[in-house]
Amino acid sequence: MNTLFPAYRTLVTSPEMLRACQSLTTFAEVLRYLKDWFQASALSDDHFLAQLNQCNRQLLDIPYEQLRGCWLPYRYEKSRGCLHWCLPQGPAVEPFQDDTIGRYRQSILNVILQPKTSLEAVLVQPVDVDLWQPCGFIFHLSRCGSTLLSGCAVQLDSVQILSESPLLTEVLLDDSLDAAQQQRLLPRLVDLQAAPFPDRPQLVIKWNAWDMLRWALIRQTFPQVPCVLLVRNPVEVLASHQKMAGRHMSGDPAMRVFDKVFDTCGMGILAFRIAVLQRLMTAMYEVLQQGPSTDIQLVDYTQLNIHTIIQLLQSWGEDIDAATCARIQQRLQLNAKFPAQAFVADVQQKHSVFDEQQTAQINRHLMPVYQALHQNESLDPGESVGERFDVFL
């Protein structure tokens, strides 16, 4: 075993030492401090860093509670069954959690220290009644204003956002984990990602579009969390993916374990995307068919104005004062995905992306379910979703 590993383990589980390291501003200062800590002054810098990299590759056999609140798990590596951790650098303010993780990992200490633990350590821990409880979920069809809504939510000082967390994504995509294991993992992994920010007690999670297909598992895991379901005219959704395709619209083979619809990319790209979007829309429809619920609200992209957004945030238990309202109003003037740019409405442009035949194909397969979502139409006795909406698969 690497002779530095015992001290490495001690350092990783010592918030005081980590804070001292983070107070240093240059790579040379951090390296010198760490060499003193490890009593490794005799080693060259390159040899010392090589030894630390060996420590980084070993799995730490420690209860995850020793990392909770100080470190943040950001990646699940399926091949090794392990979690990757980093030191957070303030709450998420970026449109997506991937962007936030990218910012965190640029810090000097996160370049040097990259601890890993087994996922099994999270699975075997006893149930903890004090796990962080989300206050709101955002489900969506993609390109429906979900990033806009999450970007407005984070304008509240009490709110933190998990926006399409890659950690939750990879756990849900791992078909070697059964539903019971995933249901056990989700609240713990949510808690571990929220715990570093106690000053922001209200947690809002924006799920990936395809997570709508795991509604039953997520809802069973978090039965009391209010949910908003965001939808949009399907021509506009698909036009956006025509310009820049999301993962679930790209034919990514990793998605095939999630639902059989992702195994149909051989049918042609537009037909494939129609099938995927139809599957997501019918999944939403099936949720609404389960009966009226005060904590599930369908919202169309066309309704996402300042008044609707404030109403949604208030329904999640948030207080909106005048200063916060002004920040939200200012955020609405910016591009949701690229906040350094001003927002430019492009609805008309999206309706010119497809030719007449393609638009007719989209409308034929998707407009009936889009309209049914808004009208909350019920199925006839004995009628299936596939019969009602001419489902591809």
Q: Which of 239, 250, 178, 171 is nearest to 211 (CA)?
A: 171
116 falls in which pLDDT band (50, 70, 90)? very high
- Tokens, residue 354: 């497809």
pTM of the model: 0.93
What pLDDT, on a 0 to 100 scale, did the predictor assign at position 170? 95
3 falls in which pLDDT band (50, 70, 90)? confident
User: pLDDT tens digits for 159-199?
Assistant: 999 999 999 999 999 999 999 999 999 999 999 999 999 99
- What pairing do the DSSP bridges indicate for beta strands 202-206 and 116-118? unpaired
What integer is the mean pLDDT of 62-71? 91
* pLDDT for residue 393 is more than 80: no
Q: Do 174 and 76 contact (CB within 8 A), yes or no?
A: yes
What integer is the mean pLDDT of 351-360? 95
The secondary structure of residue 199, as a DSSP letter, is T
Q: How far apart are CA 46 and CA 312, in angstroms?
A: 53
One-letter-per-residue 3-state SS of 162-191:
EECCHHHHHHHHCCCCCHHHHHHHHHHHHH
Alpha helices for the chain (secondary structure H): 5-12, 15-22, 27-37, 45-57, 97-104, 108-112, 120-123, 146-153, 166-173, 179-194, 215-221, 234-243, 269-289, 306-315, 322-331, 347-350, 356-375, 385-389
Q: What is Dmax (Cα atoms) for the chain?
A: 79
User: pLDDT tens digits for 281-340?
Assistant: 999 999 998 877 788 999 999 999 999 999 999 888 778 889 999 999 999 999 999 999
Task: Decide: helix, strand or coil at residue 227.
Answer: strand
Q: Do 43 and 35 contact (CB within 8 A), yes or no?
A: yes
135 falls in which pLDDT band (50, 70, 90)? very high
Q: Do 209 and 248 contact (CB within 8 A), yes or no?
A: yes
Residue 262, burial from CB neighbour count under 10 angstroms (0-12, 13-18, 19+) = buried
Q: Do 262 and 276 contact (CB within 8 A), yes or no?
A: yes
Provide the mean pLDDT of the chain.
91
Q: Do 228 and 149 contact (CB within 8 A), yes or no?
A: yes
Q: Which of 18, 11, 82, 21 is nearest to 51 (CA)?
A: 11
Q: What are phi and psi of 342, to 5 degrees?
A: -75, 150
Q: Do 357 and 188 contact (CB within 8 A), yes or no?
A: no
Q: Do 284 and 300 contact (CB within 8 A), yes or no?
A: no
What pLDDT, on a 0 to 100 scale, did the predictor assign at position 166? 95
45 falls in which pLDDT band (50, 70, 90)? very high
